[in-house]
Amino acid sequence: MSEACEVLIVSETVPDYAHPGDAGADLRAAEPAVLAPGERAVVGTGVAIALPDGYAAFVVPRSGLAAKHGITIVNSPGTVDAGYRGEIKVTLLNTDARVPYSVAVGDRIAQLIVMPVTRARFVPVDRLPGSERGEGGFGSTGYAHRTAGAAPAADSDANGAAPTGDAATTGEQR
Ligand SMILES: O=c1ccn([C@H]2C[C@H](O)[C@@H](COP(=O)(O)OP(=O)(O)OP(=O)(O)O)O2)c(=O)[nH]1
């Protein structure tokens, strides 16, 4: 892991990294919330930071909450800009179809990953340089393995649209 960068913070509790080597520091709820099945809520964390120039922080879900309770973040990853001085908030979503989820003050609801970011200088051109992938994407390389009966129709994608590109014309296994 690279050297720590200093992040100024205003908060009653400082987000902590649970283990050495963890990428994300846990963000805790500063207010309670109850999410009915399928419902979302914007939950404050009581944390405000000032990132150094050239850095951003990303608000990402906790895998435990996702796997055990179906709790995710609507706009994952939420982007915290270096110039943002407001409270970091988490837009939680309860994806469980039946069970409501309650958030108590102090619950760890998300994690914050601080990263250096590059700003692009966009250069308009008429044609892009060639590449091995070309325009292939959205499943163009197919599936690694499917058991019989579980495979989607070979000639359509998830929306029922016919594929384009080489796989469609060569009959390559998708
Ligand atoms: O999950 C998130 C995402 C964003 N933010 C804060 C930090 C970020 O710097 C600011 C604006 O976020 P974003 O740029 O994603 O919002 P927007 O919808 O584009 O609104 P704006 O017009 O304010 O930029 O809101 C959060 O607290 N939590």
Q: Where are the alpha helices (DSSP H) in 126-165?
A: none
| Residue 45 labeled ligand binder | no
Write the CB contacts of 17 (distance below 8 Å, at least 6 apart in sequence).
24, 25, 26
Q: What is the rounded distance in angstroms from the CA atom of residue 30 to the CA atom of residue 103?
A: 10
Q: Where are the alpha helices (DSSP H) in 17-101?
A: 63-69
Give me the architecture of the 8-116 domain, per CATH. Answer: Distorted Sandwich (2.70)
Lowest mean pLDDT among 15-19, 56-60, 139-143, 165-169: 165-169
Q: What is the pLDDT of residues 75-117, one digit of tens each?
A: 999 999 999 999 999 999 999 999 999 999 999 999 999 999 9
| Ligand 1 near 79 CB (within 6 A) | yes
| Residue 170 labeled ligand binder | no
Q: Which of 40, 22, 17, 15 is nearest to 90 (CA)?
A: 40
According to DSSP, residue 14 is labeled -
| Residue 126 labeled ligand binder | no
**ipTM field:** 0.98
According to DSSP, residue 74 is labeled T
The number of residues making up the chain comes to: 174
Amino acid at 162: A
Cβ-in-10-Å burial (0-12, 13-18, 19+) of 168 comes to middle
| Ligand 1 near 28 CB (within 6 A) | no
